[in-house]
């Protein structure tokens, strides 16, 4: 008898849970895989397989920019929603996965008071006046970078019309590294111009 009662209560609970998640839950109106409305197993399965990004792409192609990807999770593929989600007036809290980072920064601060305090400090460096002051240094680094990209004197150049191929996975960081050197220390690191200076970046990258 007890087994029947327990089984009945379990069936009733499961039925109620399914009805609530698919009908009355605040996210019930958003489309998505049926299993994702009930459990996070769908997302976890693709995360383990390493296919989560493919799955999200396919789901957004099928359902549109707003999909329900878990009982209490949404995936939004819309640039216009950025301010609504991450704006300082947004009634949304960052997800738990931001807590995996060791130190609390303006990027991963979950507490809005902590984020506001860090933002006040950072905003001084990104004011209009500060950015205008950085512009000459950044332009100088970009000119050196473009000159380095166009250099056809190094070995490997196929002819006098084309420069030798460049690995942009390395050259992109060269420009950033040199720009930071100009801005922070008043002098470029020279990674865009001199092979002998690039070991610094590769050591940091490793």
pLDDT above 70: residue 154: no
Same domain, 88 and 153: no
Q: How confident is the model at residue 58 (pLDDT cuts 50, 70, 90)?
A: very high
Check if the beta carbon of residue 143 is closer than 8 Å to that of residue 192.
no
Number of domains in the chain: 2
Query: Does 66 map to a domain?
Result: yes
- Segment 199-204 mean pLDDT: 71
* pLDDT of 155: 47
Domain stops at, among 92, 120, 136 = 92
Query: Does 102 map to a domain?
Result: no
Same domain, 7 and 83: yes
pLDDT above 70: residue 163: no
Domain stops at, among 42, 76, 92 = 92
Residue with tokens 């030798």: 164
* Closest of 174, 178, 199 to residue 187, by C-alpha: 178
Query: Does 59 map to a domain?
Result: yes
pTM > 0.75: no
Query: Does 112 map to a domain?
Result: no
Domain limits for position 150: 128-205
pLDDT digit string (tens) for 86-128? 777 777 777 777 877 778 888 888 888 888 888 888 888 888 8
Query: Does 57 map to a domain?
Result: yes
Pairing verdict, β 66-70 and 73-76: antiparallel
pLDDT digit string (tens) for 182-196? 888 888 888 888 877
Same domain, 87 and 132: no
Same domain, 138 and 76: no
Average pLDDT, the chain: 83
């Amino acid at each position: 008898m007890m087994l029947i009662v327990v089984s009945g209560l379990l069936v009733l609970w499961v039925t109620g849970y399914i009805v609530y998640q698919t009908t009355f839950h605040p996210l019930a109106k958003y489309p998505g895989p049926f299993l994702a409305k009930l459990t996070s197993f769908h997302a976890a399965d693709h995360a383990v397989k390493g296919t989560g990004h493919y799955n999200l792409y396919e789901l957004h192609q099928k359902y549109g920019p707003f999909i329900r990807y878990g009982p209490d999770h949404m995936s939004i593929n819309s640039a216009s929603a950025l301010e609504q989600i991450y704006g300082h007036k947004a009634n949304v809290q960052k997800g738990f996965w931001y807590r995996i980072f060791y130190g609390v920064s303006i990027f991963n601060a979950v507490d809005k008071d902590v984020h506001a305090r860090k933002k006040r400090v950072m905003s001084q460096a990104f004011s209009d006046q500060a950015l205008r002051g950085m512009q000459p240094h950044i332009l100088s680094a970009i000119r050196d970078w473009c000159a380095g990209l166009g250099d056809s004197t190094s070995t490997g150049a196929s002819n006098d019309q084309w420069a030798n191929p460049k690995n942009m996975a390395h050259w992109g960081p060269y420009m950033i590294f040199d720009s930071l050197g100009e801005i922070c220390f008043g002098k470029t690191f020279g990674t865009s111009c001199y092979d002998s200076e690039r070991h610094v970046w590769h050591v940091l990258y490793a």
